[in-house]
Amino acid sequence: MAAGSSRGYGPSATLCVAVTALSAALLAPGLTQPHGLSRRPLELKIDQALLLVHNGLINENLTVSWLSDYCYQCLYQDLIFVPTSNTLGKPSIVNVAVDSQHPITLQLNGTLEGRELHRIHYHFGEFGNYSLVVKSFHNSTKISCDIIINESPVNSHLPILYAFLIYMGILSILTLGHVFVIIDPIKNWFYKKLNPVDTDHLINSERGSPARADSASSNVPATAWTVSQRRLRSLDTFRGFALIIMVFVNYGGGKYWFFKHQSWNGLTLADLVFPWFVFIMGTSISLSLSSMLRQGCSKWKALGKAFWRSFLLFLMGIIIINPNYCLGPLSWSNLRIPGVLQRLGFTYLVVAVLELLFAKAVAENNTLQETPYSALWDILLCWPQWVFVLMLEATWLCLTFLLNVPGCPKGYLGPGGIGDFGKYPNCTGGAAGYIDHLLLGEKHIYQHPSANVLYQTSVAYDPEGILGTINSIFMAFLGLQAGKIFFFYKDQHKQIMIRFFIWSVVMGAISAILTKCSKDEGFIPVNKNLWSISYVTTLSCFAFMLLLLIYYLVDVKRWWSGAPFFYPGMNSILVYIGHEVFENYFPFKWKMKDNQSHAEHLAQNLLATSIWVIISYLLYRKRIFWKI
């Protein structure tokens, strides 16, 4: 590797000190529980505000119901009953906790003839203290409803700002340090210490990256796929970026709602990372299989390795990453069969088998690019794989929209529960949920889906279920297509980036058509729980654009080494399994002083995530890479 590429920032001691400073800053006075909260008659939790309802109606009880803006076509839910006052001229007051994540609508009903009195749309602030004053005018049917702020809410987003500033400070310090070591004597010393000669040789041993052909003295046939001696750092950077965000959101994401999975339709940050990981896995399949075949490995041997890796991923997901570990690793009666690693394993197997069965070798020269339809050669030469994948998509569409699900309408894509005005409470996920219940059994799928809080669902539903795996295969195949672009346009940076841009636009256009540019009103909404086709096209649109950007910065211009994401990207399986296994152990987790503080949760989750970055960096320096 050239001396100019040694830009990895990895001083773990500096990062440890900075993370300690982060924890101290986020836990500074004034960022935790607001003053006076402990004296309130009702103890509030994260994402809640206190509402005191004043019923000043004359001889009429009051019922307050609520509805979140994020709950699509939902029924109003009872919030509080406020009786009429027994004292003339003095209203009765009842307090209640209300949701502060999203704007909500309060519906006020009187008990006389069950009439609706008023509706108020309001966005309460976290830990704020509010009064809802309801009163009627003397000798009049008019009713006034006003919300008064008794105590201002806290700014729960300040910890994120402080965390951002601290990490930017870390980046600035490391950048200045990099500028300092440009001085030749210091640069030479650091280069010898930080760039062992055999590190790149070790990590390039199996997963290569396409570029120049081997020398003429090579024994590899002229039609063999070619890889360069320099690994594409952008791929590991992309993988590490998705992985680190995944670790952060799995640890809790500071208990912020936008770092959690969306309840049903739509996207949050947490919904982006798993599909990106699947996407870059498909790209790696293309590169790793080409490297194996270039080195003379037979297709049968490569197929055996694919089966073995898939089996190991599935086994680790079943036994190690077991949500019922407290019941024992082999608690078969309640063992969750689907999962993240299980889906990765099966997806890897299908895409790898497709590649080995149908893929054709890329010629050593670029003559293909001079033939008719050259702009489509990377697709046309893969037409058998495309036919198979499109048949899988047709299967997904048929099962989703044509399968008869007992008690549910055909093509139902809703969350069930109180959604769709409560018409289909047990139809969560439609065909996807029905197939999992039918083939796996209710006790062997995920028991606490993200929809059960907002939509109050009562049935188990697995976001990594059987039907959605079809679309994860499509996602990985699109990633494999990105790998083929690297081959067909080797050393042609502009052409590679143009292709990525075109793919991104095409996928985005398909998403716009499927969703009608709407969160809930489209033909097929973007939905992570279903892994809908629009979810795949939308996330692949983002993935192609993100890969283009990282490729340009890391491999084309070499303005960025990929640090710190590059290091966990090199040990992705180890980091993923490690963060799941040791999640509840110190220093990744500790007993918090204030469990209802975003600041302390954020500090804990960022510290835990940063520790895994440091671990992956140290493993990289020791040249330890766990591959299966």
Q: Coil, strand or helix: which one is 254? A: helix
Residues 6+ apart with CB under 8 A from 499: 378, 485, 489
Per DSSP bridges, beta strands 62-68 and 104-110 are antiparallel
| Selection from 225-234, 289-298, 461-470, 587-596 with the highest mean pLDDT | 461-470
Alpha carbon distance 441, 334 (integer Å): 10
Q: pLDDT digit string (tens) for 254-287?
A: 999 999 999 999 999 999 999 999 999 999 998 8
pTM over 0.85, yes/no: no
Q: Above 50 in pLDDT, residue 123?
A: yes
Q: What is the pLDDT of residue 367?
A: 44
Which own/partner pairs from 572-577 qualify as long-range (CB within 8 Å, at least 24 positions apart)? 572/239, 572/240, 572/243, 572/277, 573/626, 573/627, 573/628, 574/616, 574/619, 574/626, 575/243, 575/247, 575/612, 575/615, 575/616, 576/243, 576/246, 576/247, 576/340, 576/341, 577/316, 577/320, 577/321, 577/341
Structure tokens that stand for 473 in this block: 């295969």
Structure tokens that stand for 556 in this block: 């084309």
Q: pLDDT digit string (tens) for 56-99?
A: 887 888 999 999 999 999 999 999 999 988 777 788 899 999 99
Measured CA angle at 536 (ends 308, 397), to 5 deg: 95
- Beta bridge mates, 120: 106
More confident residue, 611 or 593: 611
Alpha carbon distance 431, 484 (integer Å): 34
Maximum Cα–Cα distance across the chain? 103
Q: What is the pLDDT of residue 251?
A: 93
- Residues recognised as catalytic: 261
> Crossing angle of helices 12-26/598-621, nearest 10°?
180
Q: Above 80 in pLDDT, residue 40?
A: no
Q: What is the pLDDT of residue 234?
A: 93
* DSSP state at residue 228: B
**For range 367-390, the mean pLDDT:** 73
290 pLDDT tier (thresholds 50, 70, 90): confident
Domains along the chain? 40-151 (2.60.40), 167-209+234-362+379-621 (no CATH)
Structure tokens that stand for 24 in this block: 């101290």
Q: What is the pLDDT of residue 113?
A: 66
Q: pLDDT digit string (tens) for 544-555?
A: 999 999 999 999
Phi, psi of 123 (to 5 degrees): -110, 105
| Selection from 11-20, 296-305, 425-434 with the highest mean pLDDT | 425-434
Q: Above 50 in pLDDT, residue 21?
A: no
More confident residue, 154 or 215: 154
Q: Above 90 in pLDDT, residue 505?
A: yes
User: Are the beta carbons of 145 and 64 closer than 8 angstroms?
Assistant: no
pLDDT averaged over the chain? 82
The secondary structure element, H or E, covering residue 149 is: strand 143-151
Phi, psi of 116 (to 5 degrees): -85, 125
User: Are the beta carbons of 439 and 403 closer than 8 angstroms?
Assistant: no
